[in-house]
Structure 1
Amino acid sequence: MMSAHKYELMFIADPELDERGLKKLTEQYLELVTKEGGSFDEPDYWGRRKLAYEIAGKTEGNYVVVKYTAEPATSDELDRVLNLNESVIRTKILRKG
């Protein structure tokens, strides 16, 4: 892994997801990172919070933040598949340093 970078992923999941469903959803996507040779820190579950504005008819969401290291292509794929999931309201991936 020569061009791996550090990233921070924040995503907002459907507020209807319970804790177990949210963890399962998170693990499902982080598996993509490890499968491609990357690594991640323990996910930080912020819990259910009010959104600043309505997104897709939702006024609340479950916030999850994860720091990970991966190739840029893996990060792009992670963003792509998260955006395809109807349980994910919004994603933001930031490259760190």
Structure 2
Amino acid sequence: MPLYEHVMIARQDLSNSQAEGLIEHFGAVLSDNGGKLVEQEYWGVKTMAYKINKNRKGHYSFLKTDASAAAIQEMERLMRLHDDVMRVLTIKVDAHEDGPSVQMQKRDERDSRRERR
């Protein structure tokens, strides 16, 4: 089955447990439609570049999935209808990277930038 990565932004006034509950809910939607949630990460509350629905911050979540296109479409449809979800981005990938995403890595562990001269 195809591999996908999703980033979801939920409203800032949710608690951390409610935001993580959204991840579990949409993972269950995937499994009901024959897909599988490979990995999930909760990135926490982050400040956005611009306001979305009068919110300056949002709960960011990252999902790695292995599911058919029909299961992904159903999950995205339900995400867009859910009142607590503000934005969703889905990308089809060839392979999932091992380990934590760049957002979860410590600054020292990331590839060092080129030094300026």
TM-score normalised over the length of structure 1: 0.92
The alignment yields a C-alpha RMSD, in angstroms, of 0.9
Larger Rg: 2
Unaligned runs of at least 5 residues, structure 2: 95-117
**Corresponding residue for 1:52?**
49
Q: CA deviation at 1:41?
A: 2.4
Higher strand share: 1
**Corresponding residue for 2:84?**
87
Unaligned runs of at least 5 residues, structure 1: none
Q: CA deviation at 1:42?
A: 3.0
Looking at structure 2, the residues matched to 25 and 13 of structure 1 have their Cα atoms a distance apart, in angstroms, of 9
Structure-to-structure mapping, 1:17-96, within 5 angstroms:
17-96=14-93
Size of the aligned set, in residue pairs, is 94
Higher helix share: 1
Q: What amino acid maps onto 1:38 in structure 2?
A: G
Higher RCO, Cα 8 Å, sep 6+: 1
User: Runs ≥4 in structure 1, deviation > 3 angstroms?
Assistant: none
